[in-house]
Amino acid sequence: MKKKDVPSLVKDERLIKKRRDQIVKAAVHLFNQKGYHKATTREVAQASGFSIGTLYEYIGSKEDILYLVCDAVYDEVVEKWETLMDENLHGLDRLYQVIEAYFRVVDDLQNEVLVMYQESKSLSEEALSYVLEKEMRMKEMFEKELIKAKELELIQIEEGQLSMVCHNILVAGHMWTFRRWALHKEYTIDTYCKWQINQLFYGLSVNKSATKTITKVQQNLETEGTV
């Protein structure tokens, strides 16, 4: 899926970048406050520091603003993430850090991530799939790390579990923003990282003598024929 083309009537690429940065910054703030649908293009223009006419010199439609935001947020997340990484770490330490760094970037870019998260569904199919593709690329970053760790025999992970765990990690990051009404009361970003990583690697530490196979539960449910 290609980058969606956002039309501009202006030629100067440098100016386009500058104005769009202004737009994104203003839009993130506004969309956070009122949501994408309730924020008006006029408001975005004003918050960006120019007129509605000028706004439309740099975008083709309101949706483009949302697209620019989502696009920018992914880039910013990845960029900051890379800044945080210590390339000297190895083994499990590296794995922990990749995840923790991600959580911390999300914490840092809370508003941005939240907007992208809550409003991206309003994108057109074309724009959405581009954005989702970026999401998948982030997922792949975790997959790579996990596969590497598995190959190094640092962790044991079954085939089917791999992808799901990466989804879980990503969503655990998002959660920190979209469930902040609850989580921020109970956790700091430090404790949140600690417990999420702990949970991710060690689970609920099942007392082994109590273990029964999940398969059995499955069977029970299936014989009941419900759902």
Q: What is the DSSP letter of 2?
A: P
Tokens standing for 150?
Answer: 């598995």
For the chain, how far is it from start to end, CA to CA, in angstroms? 37
Residues 108-137 that bind a second copy (CB under 8 A): 108, 118, 121-122, 132, 136
Q: What is the DSSP letter of 9?
A: S
What residue 11 binds from a second copy, DNA, none (CB within 5 to 8 A, per partner kind)?
Answer: DNA
Sign of the alpha-carbon torsion through 213, 216, 222, 227: negative
What residue 136 binds from a second copy, DNA, none (CB within 5 to 8 A, per partner kind)?
Answer: a second copy
Determine the size of the site formed for a second copy (CB under 8 A): 81
- Residue 100's closest CA among 37, 226, 12, 193? 193
What residue 184 binds from DNA, a second copy, none (CB within 5 to 8 A, per partner kind)?
Answer: none
Rounded Cα distance, 30 and 178, in Å: 17
Binding mask 37-76 for a second copy (x = CB under 8 A): x---------------------------------------
Tokens standing for 18?
Answer: 């500058």
Position among 4, 19, 20, 104 found at the interface with a second copy (CB under 8 A): 104
Instruction: Rank residues 11 and 212 by Cβ distance to DNA and give the closer one.
Output: 11
In the complex, least distance from residue 92 CB atom to a second copy, rounded to whole angstroms:
5
User: What amino acid occupies position 140?
Assistant: E
**According to the binding rule CB under 8 A, does residue 175 interact with a second copy?**
yes
User: What amino acid occupies position 212?
Assistant: K
Determine the size of the site formed for DNA (CB under 7 A): 23
**According to the binding rule CB under 7 A, does residue 56 interact with DNA?**
yes
Tokens standing for 41?
Answer: 């293009």
Position among 54, 124, 163, 168 found at the interface with DNA (CB under 7 A): 54
Rounded Cα distance, 151 and 155, in Å: 8
